[in-house]
Amino acid sequence: MPGAVGHLTRRFFDVLTSKPLLISERAAVESWLKPEMVEVFFDQMDADQRHGYHAALSVISDGHYDGEVITAALMHDVGKRHARLGVIGRSVASIMILLRLPLTERVLLYRDHGRNGARELTELGAPSLAIEFALHHQGERPQTIESRLWEVLIAADQAPKARTKADV
């Protein structure tokens, strides 16, 4: 479910101004993910790739070098790509969801991206942490994720891309 107006405004401009990953950034992503997940990651729109990349940098800068944690940060939003909504479509979808208006099939896909992404990650054999974080990242912490790790992943998901420690 979309968040507050301030968060939505920041995400709008992040998506609007996002640039494709550089070759070096793409290489980093490829080195962090299992081969079967690379294609799925790069099937996302540029903004979601960049968001996942910066989430991964954030968890790494917080001292989490474990592949499962990095995969969770990178892949938590992969379910969004099925809706195929651009920046305006996402904005309209978020407003429709917030106002509890009737939702189209594509908006439902966008709203339910966590569940859809978790299902896909399960099929890909992703680590359980990645599956659980994709499923729950917009809600409450599940018992399967330790609270400190949850805080790190949530902070990585919410951190503005310009403020990740790895970029400074």
Q: What is the mean pLDDT of each run of 10 residues along the chain (168 residues)?
A: 63 80 98 97 96 97 97 98 92 91 96 97 98 97 97 89 41
Residue 23: per-residue pLDDT: 98
Q: Tokens in use for 25?
A: 């950034």
* Residue bearing tokens 């920041």: 10
Q: Which long-range contacts (CB under 8 A, 24 or more apart) does 133-141 make?
A: 133/72, 133/73, 133/76, 134/72, 134/75, 134/76, 134/77, 134/78, 134/79, 137/76, 138/1, 138/114, 139/114
Q: What is the pTM assigned to this prediction?
A: 0.88
- Residue 44's H or E segment, with its range, is none
Domain boundaries along the sequence of the chain: 5-167
CB contact at 8 A, 31 and 141: no
- Candidates 2, 70, 54, 25; CA nearest to 167 is 54
Which amino acid belongs to residue 97? Answer: I
Distance separating alpha carbons of residues 76 and 134, to the nearest angstrom = 4
Residue 101: CB atoms within 10 A of its CB come to 12
